[in-house]
Amino acid sequence: MFQKMLIGGKLVGKDSAKTSIKIINPANEKVFARVPKGTVKDIDKAVKAAKKAFPAWADTPLAKRQAIVSKIADVLAANAEMLARMMTKEQGKPLAESMGEMGWTEGYLRHYATLEAKGRMVQDDDALQIEMRRVPLGVVAGICPWNFPVLVPFWKIGPALITGNTIVIKPSPTTPVTLMKIFELCNDFVPAGVINIVPDENDLGKALTSHPDVAKVSFTGSTETGKKIMASSAGTVKRLTLELGGNDPAIVLPDVDVKKTAEQIFGGAFMNAGQVCMAVKRVYAHKNIYDELCNELAKLAEAVVVDDGLRQGATMGPIQNKAQYKKVKALIKSSKKDGKVLSGGVVKGRKGYFVKPVIVRDVKDGNDIVDKEQFGPILPVVKFSSTKDVTRQVNKSAYGLGASVWSKDAAKATRIAGKIESGTVWVNHCVHIGPHIPMAGFKSSGLGVEQSTEGFEEYTQIQVLSVAK
């Protein structure tokens, strides 16, 4: 199949060897689709179209903007299975997870369609009427990752459109197809230029983020790329929202129900084959329950069915792309040197980027598997004896996106949670998010806020109207 890009309300792009990108199914390493290879000229055209559409869209009554976002949600609901199958082919996750992503995206959009960027009256007396308003910024650039190729873009599209902005989306080069299909399905009712999408081979980021007519960049991805975006955006002082990497710790105290806690942590670590920014990525287990927890996690890992996400019974799909697969393999190799691998490893003898869930014990801070964000199905388990020391250990990381603390004593766990340098800390659960919950990162894990009222308002500019009476 060949899926065209959307610029200024027109589906454009030619299918040829020189002008298209091959999209690989990670379950069999075969080409499943092709999309146009965007150029700098395409970026310019998309930004120009978004800029042209902005005044009329900003003046569109809020109720109509909300209705259009709701209609996008309707399209997702009506085409969920078709789109989910498409997503599994390009992303790799099991069909049930793809269906879940479609449902989550629909739910987020319906939530956004109830919101309004509200101002407030600052002063109203005999001398002055001073009103603080929230007005749209203009053209927003949304740069999106491959782990959630539909949900994350609509985290950006929903707030941008409701607040009166227009948007240019640059999807991941390895997972653009499903999103492009959704835009095609919505093109008959979304005004021309309000939403645009230009795929690339990771070579057009700077052209978009440095573009003088882009007012804001919303990026989800690696910390290193986030730093490059900050640099390229500086020349025009763009607004930035950067949701970056994480190395999310789980601290497990000795009083837990080990079996139940292992199940919850395992689920939080290995959803989407571990390719989740806020997934549990390192476990710190108290010495009294260390062996038992390691063994329970290993049992759960052995029970996972790793296969093509479209095959019935598959509970984990492949790593999404070859480059990430190589990184994961390198970490598995270093883990065997630094610790003891209890389960899993690279699946051999078949096509596809498959890795059985890996549980590694007897590792420590300073090992690559503990210090680096693996973004794959590997989970290191570190032993600790002092609660005070373990808090210092987890805070040494340059990241601070998510964390969790596990104990039957919720009050004690909450006190520990308050000392962890992380944007979100869960107590006795993990990886719980929602459109009403702020998502922000400490340190190298990000800048600004996604989701919630605070994240919604980042798509607006404060304007003060001060009227002398």
Residue 440 belongs to a domain: no
Q: Which residues pair with 358 in a beta bridge?
A: 378
Averaged pLDDT for residues 79-103: 98
Mean pLDDT of 109-116: 97
Residues 429 and 454 in one domain: no
Measured CA angle at 365 (ends 363, 369), to 5 deg: 60
Q: Supply the CATH number for residue 32's domain.
A: 3.40.605.10
Please check whether residue 39 lies inside any domain of the structure.
Answer: yes
Residue 389's pLDDT is what? Answer: 93
Supply the residues annotated as catalytic: 243, 277
Shared domain for 124 and 18, answered yes or no, is: yes
Express each pLDDT in 166-198 by its tens digit.
999 999 999 999 999 999 999 999 999 999 999
Please say if the pLDDT value at position 144 is more than 90. Answer: yes
Do 44 and 103 fall into the same domain?
yes
What's the mean pLDDT when you consider all of the chain? 97
pLDDT number for residue 162: 98
Domain that holds residue 58: 5-244+445-468
CA neighbours closer than 13 Å in the CB half-sphere of residue 1 = 14
Q: Which two tokens stand for residue 377?
A: 């199905």
pLDDT of residue 48: 98
User: CA Rg, the chain, in Å?
Assistant: 23
Q: Both tokens of residue 260?
A: 């139940």
pTM of the full predicted structure?
0.96
pLDDT for 196-223, tens place per residue?
999 999 999 999 999 999 999 999 999 9
The pLDDT of residue 83 is above 90: yes
Q: Is residue 439 part of a domain?
A: no
DSSP 3-state of 361: strand
* Number of domains composing the chain: 2
- The pLDDT > 70 percentage for the chain reads 100
Same domain? 58 vs 199: yes
Please tell me whether residues 221 and 253 are part of one structural domain: no
Q: Is residue 425 located within the same domain as residue 294?
A: yes
**Given the DSSP bridges, would you call strands 239-243 and 424-427 parallel, antiparallel or unpaired?**
unpaired
The answer to whether residue 443 scores a pLDDT higher than 90 is: yes
Shared domain check, 410 and 451: no
The whole-number pLDDT of residue 243 equals 97
Residues 272 and 313 in one domain: yes
Residue 403 confidence class, pLDDT cut points 50, 70, 90: very high
Angle at 265 between CA 241 and CA 291, to 5 degrees: 135
Residue 91 CA: distances (Å) to CA of 3, 28, 171, 460: 16, 12, 13, 32
Task: Say what the pLDDT of residue 139 is.
Answer: 98
Residues 353, 320 contacting (CB under 8 angstroms): yes
pLDDT 10s digits, 317-341: 999 999 999 999 999 999 999 999 9
Name the residue among 137, 457, 134, 112 with its Cα closest to residue 449: 457
Check whether residue 212 and residue 334 sit in a common domain: no
Looking at the structure, tell me whether residues 125 and 217 fall in a common domain. yes
Q: How confident is the model at residue 456 (pLDDT cuts 50, 70, 90)?
A: very high
- Kindly indicate the confidence band of residue 136, based on its pLDDT and cuts at 50, 70 and 90: very high
Q: Are residues 72 and 154 in the same domain?
A: yes
pLDDT tens digits, 33-45: 999 999 999 999 9
Instruction: Say whether pLDDT at 8 is over 90.
Output: yes
pLDDT at 17: 84
**Average of pLDDT values for 284-294?**
98
Residue 120 lies in a domain: yes
Mean pLDDT of the 88-114 span:
98
Tell whether 68 and 198 lie within a shared domain: yes
Residue 282 is predicted with a pLDDT of: 98
CB atoms within 10 A of CB 104: 18
